Structure 1
Amino acid sequence: MSHIAKSNLTQAQLDAHWMSYTGNRQFKKDPRIIVSAEGNYYTDLDGRKIFDGLSGLWTCGLGHSVPAINEAVAQQVKTLDYSPAFQFGHEKSFQLAEQISQFMPEGLNRIFFTGSGSESVDTALKIARAYWRKKGMGTKTKFIGRAKGYHGAGISGFSVGGIPANRTLYGQGLESYHLPHTQVAGNEFTKGMPDQGKEKAEELLNLIALHDASNIAAVIVEPMSGSGGVIIPPKGYLQRLREICDQHNILLIFDEVITAFGRMGAKTGSEAFGVTPDAITMAKQVTNGVIPMGAVAFKQEIYDTFMDTGGPEYMLEVPHGYTYSAHPIACAAGLASLGEIKKQGLIQRVNDMSPAWENSVHQLKGASDIVTDIRNYGFAAGITIAPVDNEPSKRPFQIAMEMWDKGYYVRYGADTIQLAPPFITEQSEIDSMINALGDTIKKHS
């Protein structure tokens, strides 16, 4: 059923927007237009309620149209709509930085604001290079990412990222190398952290031997690989990366754009998996997706290195930042979002509901022989779907579109269906979505 006739959009308007990470040709033949959102549901052009099975884009754990955030944003617009990001400040940025630091592991207490997760990654990588130059080790410029990793859409992010479809079109990026992913045979249908795969961390030693630690600035990984298919770290894997980085004087960066602020049933993925990196990138949940904002939390020693070598006090210690760094409206949204996470006890709620979520998701194991793997942790899950016609993405796309028609928004990416419901989701909503997904998958057997 085409929805073009129901939309007020003209064909010229549809054509004008070159949409991001979207099959533009297919979408513009039959646009999926969202008109409003409240709680755990979107409303489309037909007036249908669509359950938000991915929390926006891993962004809206509090649900949509949260009164406390709406009020904070409205008040901020009327009070201070913009403040220069360089050389001047406003109170809410300092208040929010302190609030964020309370969610971070001990010692990661210096917060640099950005406008998105992609900018957060770029900032972390730039600071890593600059840090080593400040330490007199300017040859440490290379980065190590991981296969199936996703670190945003900037040139640095695609360079350290490891999803082939996000890399091949653009040619040479920054000088980067990649660890193997940890989605290994034998771990299929594991509930939570798999037992096998820790040994994949040892590949870091081979990369260090080949390129030498004197040339490597940082290793960057997602604690849980989200866009790559919800890949859960094996037991001991992240700890081993930490050990190797310490032994070879390499910074360890966790990209927590998805995992920070509750998704894992903990304040951060670092807390959930028991490993403290040298820096954490974040975005998405910090404002509940209401206003674009990102940040990087750095450990004290990195910050102190720049302050101690900054020259005269009036000089810039780091010539880096963005027009929208610490935007007043984004800071207001961030303070309200983090305040609501605390007030409603949502991190504990995710932790408490995770076992039931896990059991519900793994009921799909027997739905069809095209379900070849299920992975989960916290309020996140990935279901791998067997390819058809040698096209790994075809079935997931078809399943996601049929789920939309049934009233459920789920994400398809490569060969997976990805799920990440809002933190406020009820068990009845989980059951409804999983039952609908099971029926849809069976249809494609």
Structure 2
Amino acid sequence: MTPIMGWLTTLRIFLSSNRLYLNRYLWSSNRPLFATGPSSSTSKFTTEVISCDSNSIHFPLGSDEPSIDSPETLQALHAASYQLKEKKRCVVFPTETVYGLGALALDSDASRRIFTTKNRPPDNPLIVHVSSMTMLRRLLPPDYQIPKHYEVLIKRFWPGPLTLLFPNTAGKVPDIITAGHPTVAIRMPSHPIARALIAVADVPLAAPSANSSGRPSPTRAEHVYDDLKGRVGIILDGGPCSVGLESTVIDGLHVDNNLRVLRPGGITVEDIEKVLAEDLAGSGIPVPKVLVHKRDYKDEDVEQAPTTPGMKYRHYSPTVPVTLLCTRSLPPEDTIPTPPRDYFSSLKKLAKRPATLVKVGVLLPSDSPLRVFAEDVPGVEFHHFPLGSTSDPLTTAQRLFDGFLTLEKMGVDLILIEEVEEDREGLAVMNRVRKAATELRWLR
């Protein structure tokens, strides 16, 4: 063997045996993925978590103004509004999807703080959140007529976890929000605290998920606190998020009038197709097709210069490696699936030292056949965080990010997650899981 071949062999063995720990370093949140501003690890604020009562907030029928029964919640909303408008600072608030890191959408300097707080790349656009149709219209070009298919979606799904792409030809929304595109992504959240905060502040808010860039999105206030403590001043705590995944993003601005799902999320493709068929029936307006990016079509331009978040960069990754267990999809032609028992037994080889336990986090459907293999393996300590059943992708969506972050906090060495069917909420679940996974293993 030549010296160089010997060196390469040694390197290959080293990389293989240390793959787990290399992955932990490469995807650690302590290692900045992007340099877009001051170090995100520098503490600037004393972070205050303020509990708010969602049930005390109501929007009377036909009114854009909230009715807030709890004095404490009203005071918290005014405090957050003051930080947003007077201090031009970021504020964290709950939405029905995930917790958001909000700043004034029409103020470039204020919005820039989102990017520095998250360490977010500047070409990753933001979604603008509004509290009313009146606020939406203030953002649109004066002569713009909302298309009929958008009217249907707004009527059925707003307020809610649906984001729509609108023209920004009047330039009302600054380039830092749109990444220089002539379009802007807008939604109206249904969470009472989110919508009330926007209404009280009387300004649209740009708000990506409230986490360091590339990390799993937070669905509880404690997730935000663990990640952004010292980088934000106020976290409004409204309890766990009901949806658990980000909003569905729709681009309906193409000349063919079809709807393109740029990011699957809280509103399913099936529900979108259903309401369009129902509401456009007999109207004389053709029912548009609903096309899912990467499933039904490809668009390399939008992947390189995305018009909405979640399309270009690695996302949703804990600080520990995530292995996707493929039990439904077909493996590549050159891949031989591993028997489940053999795979789970092999996990003991990941031990850092002899006679030490490997801690493995397990995210499986509650009725998964794999559960019997994730028990009683010598040298392996399994920590289960059950998802929904195979017939309940809604619960799986609600628990996905919470599972990632809970298992990470428990100090596991590896997280295993089984793939689910890519229908209904499962489409959005698998969109996130594939972005989070550092390895795919086919089991049969």
TM-score over 0.5 (shorter chain): no
Q: TM-score, normalised by structure 2?
A: 0.24
Q: Report 1 or 2 for greater relative contact order, CA contacts < 8 Å, sequence distance ≥ 6.
A: 1
Flag the structure with higher helix content. 1
Q: TM-score, normalised by structure 1?
A: 0.24
